[in-house]
Structure 1
Amino acid sequence: MPINENIPDYELVRKLHGDDVDAFDQIFNRYGDRLYGFAYKYLKSKEETEGLVQDVFLKIWENRKKLKKESSLKSYLFTIAYHNICHLFRKKQIFLKYIEESKVVETKTIDLEKQLEYEATLSQVDKLIDKLPGKQKEVFIKSRKEGKSTSQIANEMNLSPGTVDNYISTALKLLRKQISGEDFALLLFFAFFFQ
């Protein structure tokens, strides 16, 4: 959809309150590239930046009913992006610390027990993903396993970016519900690789 600069942000937010996917697409078209440029300056990674932009728009869609028409949409989007960048940096530091403490860096090998544990966790995650309904499962795999962006998936599957983000958001909620709080390894894996 072409970007219509004549529609003010507050009008797009009003339409978004009514679950208008076209309004969501219009917001994505208007701010997607700007957010990408902003995030890429910090992350220096195409894949991480695409994931971050996708997550920002997922949050917009999930919270569409709570958005305030009088607030600055642009400011809200960039604030979410900034917080997500900070969160990513914290997550990387935790992960690097875990690797360091596990002496994976020094030994450059993973012992059999750790490898088996990792494979078991991966298998559990795959089983949970297999339980997702048809298109939702396909979209989720393309996004989180193949690393494709919202726009790539939308083009491949002939869906709107809003629908793609909606599928991913619903899938994440379902997966979170199924992961037991006691299964720390699975919870940690999910937090690192699927958020």
Structure 2
Amino acid sequence: MSVYSNFSDEELTVLLKRGDQPAFTEIYNRYWAEMYFHTFRMLKEEESSKDVVQDVFSTLWLKSSSLNERTKLSGHLYISVRNKVLNLIAQHKVRNDYLSSVAAFVSQTTTESTLYDEREILDIVEAEIRNLPARMQEIFNLSRKDNLSHKEIAEKLGISDQTVKKQVQNALKIIKGKVPVVESGLFALFLLR
């Protein structure tokens, strides 16, 4: 039994703020299951719930130095989980709305895009995204599929905002050259948001 298991949340928070790894481990062990079940009640999806909880604890560790020592730890974790879940739900709604607008645009076009149905176009774009260099693909997916800002991606990957911007621009150039319906404007609707 670790000596840390006898510490209060307040004591663990002070140690965590100083970068104490065993204090973080104790917090993780103490709250992981509780946060998971709280998340699962909202999402009803095992993998998504695990991802949200993992993200909350990763953020807690990465931003521990800015944590207020008087913050109630359990309250902080509950609020973090709630915010991550709300963001996830909003991102799914944006993605679904976005795909609906693509479908509507494809069904209205009668020019060059009539040679391709919506699924074919999406398949071509997805294939080209998979052909991007690994790091560029990761950045592009974080931008376009996860709806993260350049700043959020830069923080997540430990690179500059400019690097993220350049990688997204390069990915768009590569994909644009491969998608057959660029002239119809579908490419702009699909990727240049």
The two structures share one fold, judged by TM-score above 0.5: yes
- Equivalent residues of 2:129, 2:137 under 8 A apart: no
Question: What secondary structure does 1:68 align onto?
Answer: coil
2:164 counterpart of 1:179:
yes
- Written as runs of structure 1 = structure 2, the 5 A alignment for 1:17-166 is 17-103=17-103, 110-112=119-121, 114-124=122-132, 126-128=134-136
Q: CA RMSD in A?
A: 3.4
After TM superposition, what 4+ stretches of structure 1 lie above 3 angstroms from structure 2?
1-5, 106-109, 127-130, 174-178, 184-187
| Structure 2 gap segments, 5+ residues each | 108-115, 139-153, 173-193
Deviations 1:88-131 (A, max 9, x none): 11001011112222229x9996224x43332232333624489x
Are the equivalent residues in 1 in contact too, given 2:136–2:168 (CA < 8 A)? Answer: no
Report 1 or 2 for greater relative contact order, CA contacts < 8 Å, sequence distance ≥ 6: 1
Contact 1:40–1:49 (CA under 8 A) maintained in structure 2: yes
Q: TM-score, normalised by structure 2?
A: 0.63
**In 1, distance between residues paired with 2:22 and 2:35?**
19
Distance 1:182 1:6, change over 3 A: closer
TM-score by length of 1: 0.63
Structure 2 distance, partners of 1:2, 1:108, is: 60
Aligned-pair CA distance for 1:63: 1.2
Gaps of 5+ in 1: 131-168, 188-195
